[in-house]
Amino acid sequence: GESVGLHLPTLSVQEGDNSIINCAYSNSASDYFIWYKQESGKGPQFIIDIRSNMDKRQGQRVTVLLNKTVKHLSLQIAATQPGDSAVYFCAESGPDDKIIFGKGTRLHILP
């Protein structure tokens, strides 16, 4: 099986409930933030992004919130489905063009 992510924090959510995944970023100069979803054996997939001139952005069933004061990012998934089961990563990018990833959170859906 997939060995990546064995020691990641896990969030367990009942199917149909909303999920909230949190991320603390490190660089106060970062101005672009992205959430990715990674399923077992695959590369990360883009979910939603937000630039530092916004504090909220909505997509289909997903919302990203940005709090620059405390350097915190969250991903909200509405009506969580079995297909949402994956590892979720936040990433930040700043003036140096480096895109740095957080450690990830495993989302586990309870039936």
Q: Min. distance of Cβ 17 from another protein in angstroms?
A: 26
Q: Is the separation of the CB atoms in 18 and 76 below 8 Å? A: yes
Q: Min. distance of Cβ 71 from another protein in angstroms?
A: 17
- Residues of the shown chain interacting with another protein in the complex, contacts defined by CB under 8 A: 3-8, 31-32, 34, 36, 41-46, 49, 89, 91, 93, 95, 97-104
Q: In this complex, which beta carbon is closest to another protein, that of residue 24 or of residue 79?
A: 24
User: Which single residue is written with the structure tokens 């709090």?
Assistant: 67
